[in-house]
Amino acid sequence: MRTLFKTNYDTDIDWFSHPAKLGWYLVLLAAFLALPLYFFWQNDTYLLGEVTSVFIFAIAGLGLMMLTGQTGLASLGHAAFMAIGCYANVLLLNAGVPWLIAFPLAGLIAGALGTFIAMPVMRLHGVYLALATLALSVLMVDFIVLGEDFTGGVAGISVPDISLFGFTVNRYANPYAFYYVVLGVCLITVAFYRNIVRSPTGRSFAAIRDSEISARAMGVDPAKTKALAFFLSCSIAGLAGALFGHNATYVTHETFDIVMSITLLLMIVIGGLGTIHGAFLGAIVVGLIPVIIANARTWLSTSFDITGNIPGIEQAIFAAILIGFILFEPMGLYGRWMKIRTWFDLFPFYRKGLFARQKSYLKTERVQ
C-alpha cells in the first residue's frame, strides 16, 4: 500500500518507499540495458558515446555529492582526485596488473591520497574550504607536468584498453561493450551510495552537514567523519577518472583542469544537492548542452549561413544556468520535480511554503 507520508521508522532506510517505485526503476534499468540495441539499429555510435559520458559524469557527481551534498563540505578540486584515479589506473595497467584489480585499486589510491592531501584543510568551513580544494586542483596540473616520467607530462599518456576475461574493450573499437562496463560500474556505485546513506555512517555525514556542534554533542567525531567522507568521495571520483581516461583514450595535464572541477560542482547544484537523482539529472544537463550547442551551430550555418562560433559560449550558458538555479530553484531539478509531484499528491491541500528554505545553521554555529 502506498502512503503519502512516513508511517514507520523503516521508511528512512528502505530502498524504496513503496513497490511502485521499484517497478519504475526496473523499467528504467531495462531501458538502459536495451538502449545500445537502439543505437545499433540506428548505427549511431556518437550518441551512444555521449550517453556513456553522461554515466561517467554521473559517477563523478556521486563522488562529489557524497562530500558536498551529503556531508556539506564544499569542494572545487575533485578533478584532481579524478586525475589521481586515472593516472593510477594507467600506471597499474602498464605494469601488467589485470584491469579487474587495477581499476578498484586506482579508486582506493585516489581515496587514500585524496584524504591525505585534504587532511590539512578539513578544519576549514564554507568558502575557505572551497578555495583550499580549488588550490589542490590548480596544483595537480603542475604535479602532472613535473611527474613527466610517470604521467607523460605535457605530451600526455595513452590509456590502455580494458581487458576482461580475454576480451578487449575499447571506447572506439567496441563502444557497446564499453557502455555496459560503465553502466555496471555506475549501478554498483549507486548501490554503494544508497547503502552508505541508509547506514549510521550516512547519518553521521548528514549530522555534520546540518550542525557540526550538534553532531559532536550526539557523539559524532567530526574529524573522523570528514576524513571518511573525503576517502569515499575521492575513491568514487578516482573510479570516474579511470573510466574517463578509458573514454578519452589519451589524457594530458589539461584533461583534469579547474574547469572540470567547476563543472562537477555546477552539475550537482543543477541536479539537486544531497540526492542520487541530482547527480544523474545534472550529468544529463552538462552532457547535453555541448551537443545542443553543436547542433545549433550546424543548423545556423546551414539554414542562415551564420557560423555561430562565439568564443566561450558554453561557459556563458553554464554560468547563466547556475545563476538561474541559485536564484529561482536552489533545490535543483530534482527539487522541482519533488514539488510538482507533491503538488499532485496533496492537491487541493498543498500549501505554498511546504518546501520553504530553512536556515542551515543553529545560533550556536556562529561561535565557530
pLDDT in tens, 9-64: 666 677 776 777 788 888 888 999 998 888 888 887 888 888 899 999 999 999 99
**pLDDT tens, 280-326?**
998 988 887 777 777 777 776 776 666 656 666 666 777 787 788 77
Percent residues over pLDDT 90 in the chain: 23
Say what the pTM is.
Answer: 0.87
DSSP conformation letters of 98-160? -HHHHHHHHHHHHHHHHHHHHGGGTT--HHHHHHHHHHHHHHHHHHHHHTHHHH-TTT-EEPP
- Distance CA(277)–CA(334), nearest Å, equals 7
Q: Render pLDDT for 199-228 as a digit per residue (tens, 0 to 9).
A: 888 889 988 888 888 888 888 888 888 889
pLDDT at 5: 63
Residue 307's pLDDT is 62
pLDDT tens profile 107-131 = 999 999 888 887 887 777 777 788 8
For the chain, give the mean pLDDT.
Answer: 82
Is pLDDT above 80 for 350? no
Question: How do residues 142-154 score in pLDDT, each as one tens digit?
Answer: 888 888 888 888 8
Contact 338, 355 (CB under 8 A): yes
CA distance 52 to 243: 10
Assign 89 a pLDDT band (cuts: 50, 70, 90).
very high
Which pLDDT band holds residue 364 (cuts at 50, 70, 90)? very low
Q: Is the pLDDT of residue 360 over 60?
A: no
Q: In the chain, what percentage of residues exceed pLDDT 70? A: 86
Whole-angstrom distance, CA of residue 159 vs CA of residue 91: 9
**Residue by residue, what is the 3-state secondary structure of 177-214?**
HHHHHHHHHHHHHHHHHHHHHHCHHHHHHHHHHHCHHH
Judged by average pLDDT, the poorest of 45-54, 328-337, 351-360 is 351-360
Strand 250-251 versus strand 157-158 pairing type: antiparallel
Distance CA 166, CA 330 (A): 48
pLDDT of 173 strictly over 90: no
pLDDT over 90 (residue 106): yes
Cell of 297: 551551430
